[in-house]
């Protein structure tokens, strides 16, 4: 429930995935990936299916989770805007 609260989905905890919007599904997927507190999180185009507005919101949620949990993240993307706003620092 703490992760669901962090991503703004606490009120939707009893909903099925098909009852959620695309952005809500992405946020719930982040919760699923982080529930076991992994040291490494690999993200392959995690926001590719979202429109610009929802992708920007999802990046903000991802940044908040990264700041809180401090896991190592690998983000693969072809979207330059997504890369530039990524919460995960790069080697470049």
Report, as an integer, the average pLDDT of 54-83. 77
Whole-number Å distance between alpha carbons of 16 and 65: 23
**Domain spans of the chain?**
2-84
pLDDT at 92: 45
Task: Name the percent of the chain lying above pLDDT 70.
Answer: 85
CATH class entry, domain 2-84: alpha beta
Model-level pTM?
0.68
């Amino acid at each position: 429930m703490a992760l669901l609260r962090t991503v703004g989905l606490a009120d939707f905890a009893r909903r099925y995935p098909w009852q959620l919007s695309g952005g809500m599904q992405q946020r719930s997927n982040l919760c699923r990936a982080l529930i076991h507190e992994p040291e490494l999180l690999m993200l392959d185009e995690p926001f590719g299916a979202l429109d610009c507005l929802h992708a920007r919101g999802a990046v903000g949620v991802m940044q908040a989770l990264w700041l809180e949990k401090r896991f190592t993240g690998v983000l693969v993307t072809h979207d330059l805007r997504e890369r530039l706003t990524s919460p995960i620092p790069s080697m470049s």
